[in-house]
Amino acid sequence: MIALSLAEFAAITGGELRVFGTDTPETLVDGVVDTDSRTMEPGSVFVAKPGAETDGHRFVGAAVQAGAVLAIVERPVDDQVSQIVVTDVVSALADLAREVVARVRARGDLRIVGITGSNGKTTTKNFLARILEAEGETVSPIKSYNNEVGAPVTMLRVTEQTRYLVCEFGAAAPGSIAHLAGLVEPDVAVVLMVGMAHAGGFGGIEETARAKSELVAAARTDGTAVLNVDDSRVAAMRQLAVDRGMRVFGFGQGPGADVRARDIEVSASGTRCTVEVEGDRLPLRLQVLGAHHVGNALAAIAASAVLGVPAADAVARLETVEIAERWRMQPLGSDRVRIINDAYNASPDSMAAALRTLAQITGPEERTVAVLGAMTELGESAGEEHDRIGLLAVRLNIQRIVVVGPEARRLYLSAVGEGSWNSEAVHLPDQDAAFEYLRTELRDGDRVLVKSSNSVGLRHLGDRLGELFS
């Protein structure tokens, strides 16, 4: 972070400064800002966020021992550290991020990219960061830091030397993206897709689309909207961008794409295609599994092109990315039994894409095994969407369908109803039961997909299977 005095921290957050020891209001602080005491290092700022299960104020002492020199709190604490007492630490974090980014932007050539979409945000963020980091200092989120805490924490990592800030924006509710993107007003707004992920919390897919369009509405009017032309709801955001005076740059496979993919081929070693951009045809070989990641790669190429990066350089850098992120189409195990751990998140779209990838990468002498858990946050559509995935798994001829947990039972029943009989489909109560079943069921030549929503936790089952068969 850029250096700020304690007095500036207090003024920006509207809090009461309480100095400790030899500190004065003029004391400068430029360390990491975070709500996790475990990330503290010498010179850091600890934000004591109250939570549903625990309270960050309990960990101020641990943060100080780890090196924190300032605590932002909602009530004074006895720990020996300078403190700023605010009404709401999350709001204070946002105010701090807005001011710090504005100062860096005013001083230099900082360019900001915002990314949203029902699926693919983290992969696209990682792709784009890999492209841009060769151009100059690039700040991007750790893991999926895309909420009211994670996004400002990412923003606060910028320095005077930062050239690119890549932000990932999730939507907890209508207005979430507008608030977070409004803190930085991106130069480039990337919208990947509108799907059923979190649709239950928004009241339907059209409301989800409106939430995603908030990124375009929050971007700079002299900026660029990078839109997926293959998704009709995203493509419709073109008019919003044009009405705001923004440039529009499309990506996809259909008409209107400025960056297009042709001849997509998926194998166990990665995904190949030809990228067409600005009159050039460039071969791209992604090490990341799955045809659905081609769209994420196109989005990253398009955003980097807007920022002036030659397409050939972008493609070459994408080819160095080995995995999208831990627990996202992550290859584990061995050539004998290959585990694909894709259980960080799941929506109907990403579940279908992962199943299709499993079918595509499995050879004629190999066996497909899908270990599936529930897709959460689908609201009234949950039953219907689990039915659809069960049907798809059978129609893709997935040879073993292992359904885990009571919330996913309807997926199992759908598969059985479609014809997955005689133990081709099984339903197990929990991860431990699934591990014991798979430990003896899996055999040489199996290709195993592990997929569920994050809250279900099958990613840990995927890790156990990967270690077992490594």
Q: Quick one: average pLDDT of 427-441?
A: 97
Indicate the domain borders of the chain: 4-87, 92-318, 330-468
SS (H, E, C) 225-238: EEEECCCHHHHCCH
Using pLDDT thresholds of 50, 70 and 90, give the confidence band for residue 395: very high
- Return the SS3 of 259: strand
Strands 188-191 and 224-228: parallel
Could you read off the pLDDT of 303-361 as tens digits, one per residue? 999 999 999 999 999 999 988 788 888 999 998 999 999 998 889 999 999 999 999 99
CATH number of 92-318: 3.40.1190.10
CATH number of 4-87: 3.40.1390.10
Q: Quick one: average pLDDT of 135-152?
A: 93
The backbone torsions φ and ψ at residue 408, rounded to the nearest 5 degrees and listed phi first, read -105, 10
Q: Which residues of 104-127 are buried (b: 16+ CB within 10 A; e: fewer)?
A: bbeeeebbbbbbbbbbbbbbbbbb
pLDDT of residue 450: 98
pLDDT of residue 264: 95
Q: Quick one: average pLDDT of 372-379?
A: 91
Could you read off the pLDDT of 18-61 as tens digits, one per residue? 999 999 999 999 999 999 999 999 999 999 999 878 899 999 99
Alpha-carbon dihedral 93, 94, 98, 104, rounded to 10 degrees: 40
CATH fold label, 330-468: Protein-Tyrosine Phosphatase; Chain A (3.90.190)
The overall average pLDDT reported for the chain is: 94
Could you read off the pLDDT of 110-140 as tens digits, one per residue? 999 999 998 899 999 999 999 999 999 999 9
- Asked if 369 and 446 count as a contact pair (C-beta separation under 8 A), the reply is yes
pLDDT of residue 54: 85
